């Protein structure tokens, strides 16, 4: 293949996956009703949802949005979405967010490649109905197939937390910026990208991560998704978690 042909192929795949993200996002936004408090996710798929929600707000929909990152906050503000915080709105009716991997069956998730996992998890935990939107490539048999687990840590003594992650069988690497400085989250913490290989029991791993001192949060979201809307070539498929 020529360089041009490869370039065209890449742009075809990217456009298609954008289309799949967009149809998943629009189907979730159709669930939003007047008067709701809505959690606004982070990432390229969630950005399509915020965009679609902004359009509905401009058409007269009355909601309050709770953004999960500064990036989403800026996008929502620019679209005229009224924003609030968790202090005034302790319960969120609906949150629409993306994911990096979705596990078939229980719909456990890996999240946090965008670095917003802490606020995303706080918002998800305060939410009555978490709708995850993704293109179909995110659905996997077992988590960890192609993504590491992001683990957010306090900068003070982070190497200690890294060693504990190694003791759990992980291979942690400090997330860095292009200039090699540590990536710092909205909350002022570091992220360790931790490769655990295929994760046989995500719930046990999540418990073990929760017990490490210095770990603020991690990207394993266990049984938090009420449903997953997957954009595919044949349209949007909605998955619900299998019962335990
Ligand atoms: C942000 O911190 C993440 O949890 C995102 O939701 C996740 O990385 C999915 O992002 P994309 O929709 O861009 O794939």
User: Is the separation of the CB atoms in 96 and 38 below 8 Å?
Assistant: yes
Instruction: Indicate the pairing of strand 227-232 with strand 235-239.
Output: antiparallel
Please name the residue that has the structure tokens 């077992």.
142
Indicate the burial class of 1 (C-beta count within 10 angstroms; 0-12, 13-18, 19 or more): exposed
193: tokens are 């990208």
Question: How far is residue 71 from each of residues 67, 141, 151, 180, measured CA to CA in Å?
Answer: 9, 31, 20, 22
Closest residue by Cα to atom 5, ligand 1, is: 43
Nearest to 159 by CA among 149, 174, 148, 171: 174
For residue 129, report the distance from its CA to the centre of ligand 1, in Å. 18
- Which amino acid residue places its CA nearest to atom 8 of ligand 1? 113
Mutate to test the pocket of ligand 1, among 22, 25, 44, 220 (most ligand atoms within 8 A of CB): 44
What does the pLDDT read at residue 9? Answer: 65
User: For residue 15, what pLDDT is reported?
Assistant: 67
Q: How many CB atoms lie within 10 A of CB 219?
A: 29
Give pLDDT, residue 236.
98
Distance CA 172, CA 157 (A): 14
What is the best residue among 28, 45, 175 to mutate for testing ligand 1's pocket, by most ligand atoms within 8 Å of CB? 45
Of 229, 224, 21, give the one whose Cα is nearest residue 123: 224
Site residues for ligand 1, CB cut-off 6 Å: 41-46, 97-100, 111-117, 120
In eight-state DSSP terms, residue 83 is: B
What is the Å distance from ligand 1's center to 186 Cα?
15
Rounded-to-integer distance, Cα 29 and Cα 24, Å: 9
Q: Identify whether the C-beta of residue 205 lies closer than 8 Å to the C-beta of residue 212.
A: no
Active site residue ranges: 120
Cα–Cα distance, 63 to 56 (Å, whole number): 10
DSSP state letter for 219: S
The confidence score (pLDDT) of residue 3 equals 78
Residue ranges in the chain whose pLDDT is less than 50: none
Residue 1 Cα to ligand 1 midpoint, Å, equals: 32
- pTM value? 0.93
């Amino acid at each position: 293949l020529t360089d041009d042909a490869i370039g065209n192929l890449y742009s075809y795949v990217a456009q298609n996956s954008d289309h799949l993200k967009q149809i998943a996002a629009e189907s979730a936004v159709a669930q939003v009703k007047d008067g709701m408090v809505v959690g606004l996710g982070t990432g390229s798929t969630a950005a399509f949802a915020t965009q679609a929600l902004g359009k509905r707000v401009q058409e007269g929909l009355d909601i309050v949005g709770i953004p999960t990152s500064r990036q989403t906050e800026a996008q929502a503000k620019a679209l005229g979405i009224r924003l609030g915080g968790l202090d005034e709105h302790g319960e969120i009716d609906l949150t629409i967010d993306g994911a990096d991997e979705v596990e078939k069956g229980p719909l456990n998730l890996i999240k946090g490649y965008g670095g917003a996992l802490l606020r995303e998890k706080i918002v998800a935990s305060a939410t009555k109905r978490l709708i995850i939107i993704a293109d179909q490539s995110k659905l996997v048999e077992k988590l960890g197939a192609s993504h590491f687990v992001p683990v957010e840590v306090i900068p003070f003594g982070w190497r200690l937390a890294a060693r504990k992650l190694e003791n759990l069988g992980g291979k942690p690497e400090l997330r860095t910026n292009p200039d090699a400085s540590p990536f710092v989250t909205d909350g002022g913490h570091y992220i360790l990208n931790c490769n655990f290989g295929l994760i046989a029991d995500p719930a046990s791993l999540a418990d073990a991560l929760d017990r490490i001192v210095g770990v603020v949060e991690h990207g394993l979201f266990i049984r938090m998704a009420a449903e997953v809307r997957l954009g595919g070539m044949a349209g949007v498929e909605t998955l619900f978690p299998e019962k335990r």
